[in-house]
Amino acid sequence: MDITIAIVNYNSTKLLYECLTSIYDSIGNIHYEVIVVDNASYDNPANQIKRSFPGTSVIVNNKNRGFAKGVNQAFQASKGDFFFLLNPDTRLLSNIFPGMLEFFHCHPEAGIVAPRIVFPDGKLHPSARRFITLPGAIMDLFQIHFYFPGNIIAKRFDYNNWEHDKVREVDWVTGAAFLTRSDILAECGMMDERYFMYFEDMDYCMSVREKGYKIFFCPQFSVVHYHAKGGSDKLPVRSVDYYISLNKYLLKHKGPLPSLLFRTAMLCWGVFYMFIRAIKHFFSPDDQSLRQRLDVPLRLILNKSHEN
């Protein structure tokens, strides 16, 4: 088996069908398998997937086990020499696999090869980034990059200082689409399941680099990403688990002090956010209860994941 294509799905069934269709329409003659891990999607798509795409293996979880655990489940069931991780809200534009496999064969130092990711309108979706630092994490928390997108830290983090039109070695790439060798994934110990969602891809790329391998961004291969259209992106989890996972990353790779400083910033932001949402509830009421409005800031204050 040349390659295993692994997709972790959660409430993204419609987009998942488009993704699978693009795979089977473009895969060509390479030896492959497709494994979908469904994290207890509300519409239970397993039977429909098997009917529409009979060559697809489906692993069904009885609850949302998180992204990292889903990836590891797929890897443990995989048979391919290479492991291609793909989001359900993506679409292949062409058969990129022969070229990506050839790149690996020509670059034995490669640990991960990642395609260029674009939005449906063709614009670049930054997917190759530098490892985050404490200042960058705090700016992200307070959304400074949103109000001042041209700041030097944001530009550096997203590699905005170079055109994404040439092969480059980078710090890390997002888990929306990347190819690695199965033996490297096993050597690195698979993905860290302490991350329920977010930053498991950055963490894995750090592990790959620590083993002496390189991570390459290869724009000659392209994947469309319907960013923020997947099931997880529609939930408040993005506001909570994202920052909880970021704190776990800082603790693991930067140490207790940066983690403590970021946790303090999370606490301050949570208190401020709770105050704003409480004021809005009383002066601009809607269908949400006060408890619903305060759920996200309280989780930030208490460092409580939606997993719990």
- pLDDT at site 223: 96
Of 81, 86, 110, nearest to 209 by C-alpha is 110
- pLDDT at site 233: 44
Of 43, 244, 22, nearest to 34 by C-alpha is 22
User: Residue 105 burial by CB count (10 A; 0-12/13-18/19+): exposed, middle or buried?
Assistant: exposed
Are the beta carbons of 45 and 59 closer than 8 angstroms? Answer: no
Round to the nearest angstrom and report the end-to-end CA distance of the chain.
38
Is 237's pLDDT higher than 60? no
- pLDDT at site 138: 92
**Which residue intervals of the chain are DSSP H helices?**
13-26, 46-52, 67-77, 97-106, 134-141, 144-147, 152-157, 182-187, 200-210, 237-253, 256-283, 290-302
Are the beta carbons of 238 and 306 closer than 8 angstroms? Answer: no
For the stretch 133-155, pLDDT in tens is: 999 999 888 888 777 777 777 77
For the stretch 30-54, pLDDT in tens is: 999 999 999 999 888 898 999 999 9
Domain range list for the chain: 3-229, 233-302
The topology under which CATH files domain 3-229 is Spore Coat Polysaccharide Biosynthesis Protein SpsA; Chain A (3.90.550)
Q: Which three-class secondary structure state does DSSP give residue 296?
A: helix
Are the beta carbons of 6 and 41 closer than 8 angstroms? Answer: no
- What is the reported pTM? 0.90
User: pLDDT band at 291, cuts 50/70/90?
Assistant: confident
- Give me the amino acid identity at 121: D
**Which residue intervals of 214-255 are DSSP H helices?**
237-253
Give the pairing of strands 3-9 and 214-225.
Answer: unpaired
User: pLDDT band at 234, cuts 50/70/90?
Assistant: very low
Rounded to an integer, the average pLDDT of 107-114 is 97
Give me the residue label for tokens 């039977």: 47
Phi, psi values for residue 191, rounded to 5°: -85, 145
Rounded to an integer, the average pLDDT of 190-212 is 95
For the stretch 244-269, pLDDT in tens is: 999 999 999 999 999 999 999 999 99
Is 79's pLDDT higher than 90? yes
